[in-house]
């Protein structure tokens, strides 16, 4: 059963679609934003992560056309419908949001030629909240198109196609697989476990589900974001940190006397035995490696804590992750607001765990808070931090899905 917010938003979107295009939509699909729960900078080190879909969604209403064109209207960005030809897609210099949809259409059209479509987009996923509104948009549109044109693609490959859409020439953002996988594969009241050791054909070697209803324990996740702090991974220290992790491999291979392919191959014991030598080579490198090695273990420990329903231990692991990200990976470089956000949040009653969320170089946090303290947490953090914080409380939610074939409703 869908919650009332979804029912109301879908009803409004259907009505707006009919008014705009003068016909009924044939399919409605939705996809959630995502939250990185734990597993910070582990993906490109072939490590582990836990993520989830959040209870904020992008909805796509769609109907078929036969003129070889896609016409799109977005509530958040459009003044009038935008149109492009399926067989002659060009990157747009204006309406940048449309390039994400162009990328999705381009990828799907390679699998099965599309005849054309009218599309209406409605979303309550914040574009500035670090919850991957782009992945929600891509998966929602892709799911609607697959439903409309009977394109048979499994959820994992659909998520990969959407990642390719964002990585490709229309958008050109080198995101990893976490965003699209989370929006596409999430399940309600469940955390998504991803093992980023690639296979010959897949960016991950394991996908697993950890069911856990935090609300039954009186807990809620909440994202905190300072929208005034602009995040830019490309010009930040992100590339430098990634390169330093890659450069550490040859050093660790020599120190440990064995082949190290990535930092996931390094155990905590092996890191500790290498700590002094690695520090002598480069003290900053030692810190970066320490974060990743211990973070991988924290993800595995978090899974075990949830299986044992040890929520306090799980919360402590989240907080330890946040401390490591600030102290060892230094993700607050040029953004002291991130340190202020997390350290102030740690001191508030009712917080079981708190950490940064995402790649860093921004002011975005994730907290696990007692539900009866949720309002006071927001009030106190806003007082201690200052104005400008946006709060996104959420439940673990279902991934991309077709909600209804409207022609049959």
Higher-confidence position of 127 and 109? 109
Identify the CATH number of the domain in which residue 189 sits.
3.30.230.10
- Per-residue pLDDT, averaged over 134-158, amounts to 96
Residue 253 lies in a domain: no
Residue 112 lies in a domain: yes
Residue burial 186-215, b: 16+ Cβ < 10 Å; e: rest: bbeebbbbbbbbeeeeebbeeeeebebebe
Residue 71 lies in a domain: yes
Residue 294 lies in a domain: no
Residue 265 lies in a domain: no
Asked if 50 contacts 191 with a C-beta cutoff of 8 angstroms, the reply is yes
- Whole-structure pTM value: 0.94
Give residue 235's pLDDT band: very low, low, confident or very high (50, 70, 90). low
**Residue 128 in this model has a pLDDT that exceeds 80:** no
Number of domains making up the chain: 1
Q: What integer pLDDT is reported at residue 208 of this predicted model?
A: 98
Residue 305 lies in a domain: no
Strand 219-226 and strand 389-394: the pairing is antiparallel
Q: What integer pLDDT is reported at residue 406 of this predicted model?
A: 52
- Per-residue pLDDT, averaged over 283-292, amounts to 98
Residue 233 lies in a domain: no
Residue 76 lies in a domain: yes
Provide the domain limits for residue 114.
4-212+396-408
């Amino acid at each position: 059963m869908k919650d009332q917010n979804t029912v109301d938003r879908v009803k409004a979107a259907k009505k707006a679609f009919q008014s705009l295009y003068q016909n009924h939509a044939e399919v409605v699909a939705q996809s959630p934003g995502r939250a990185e729960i734990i597993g910070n900078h582990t993906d490109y080190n072939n490590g582990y992560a836990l993520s989830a879909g959040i209870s904020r969604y992008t909805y796509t209403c769609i109907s078929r056309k036969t003129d070889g064109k896609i016409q799109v209207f977005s509530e958040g960005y459009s003044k009038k419908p935008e149109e492009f030809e399926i067989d002659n897609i060009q990157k747009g210099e204006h309406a940048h949001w449309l390039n994400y949809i162009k990328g999705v259409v381009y990828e799907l059209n390679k699998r099965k030629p599309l005849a054309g479509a009218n599309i209406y987009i409605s979303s309550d996923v914040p574009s500035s909240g670090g919850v991957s509104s782009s992945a929600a948009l891509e998966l929602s549109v892709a799911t609607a198109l697959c439903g409309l044109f009977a394109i048979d693609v499994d959820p994992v490959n659909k998520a990969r196609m959407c990642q390719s859409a964002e990585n490709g020439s229309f958008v050109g953002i080198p995101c990893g697989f976490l965003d699209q996988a989370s929006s596409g594969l999430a399940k309600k009241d469940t955390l998504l476990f991803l093992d980023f050791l690639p296979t010959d054909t897949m960016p991950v070697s394991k996908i697993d589900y950890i069911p856990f209803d935090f609300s039954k324990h009186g807990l809620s996740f909440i994202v905190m974001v300072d929208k005034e702090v602009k995040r830019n991974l490309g010009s930040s220290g992100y590339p430098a940190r990634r390169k330093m992790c890659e450069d550490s491999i040859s050093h660790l291979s020599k120190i440990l006397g064995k082949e190290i392919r990535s930092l996931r191959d390094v155990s905590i014991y092996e890191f500790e035995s290498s700590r002094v030598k690695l520090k002598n080579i480069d003290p900053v490198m030692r810190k970066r490696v320490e974060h990743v090695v211990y973070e991988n273990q924290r993800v595995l420990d978090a899974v075990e804590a949830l299986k044992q329903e040890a929520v306090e231990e799980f919360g402590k692991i989240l907080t330890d992750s946040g401390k490591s990200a600030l102290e060892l990976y230094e993700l607050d470089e040029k953004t002291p607001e991130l340190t202020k956000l997390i350290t102030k949040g740690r001191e508030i009653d009712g917080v079981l765990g708190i950490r940064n969320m995402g790649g860093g170089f921004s002011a975005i946090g994730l907290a696990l808070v007692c539900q009866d303290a949720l309002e006071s947490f927001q009030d106190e953090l806003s007082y201690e931090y200052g104005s400008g914080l946006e709060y996104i409380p959420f439940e673990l939610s279902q991934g991309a899905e077709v909600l209804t074939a409207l022609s049959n409703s």
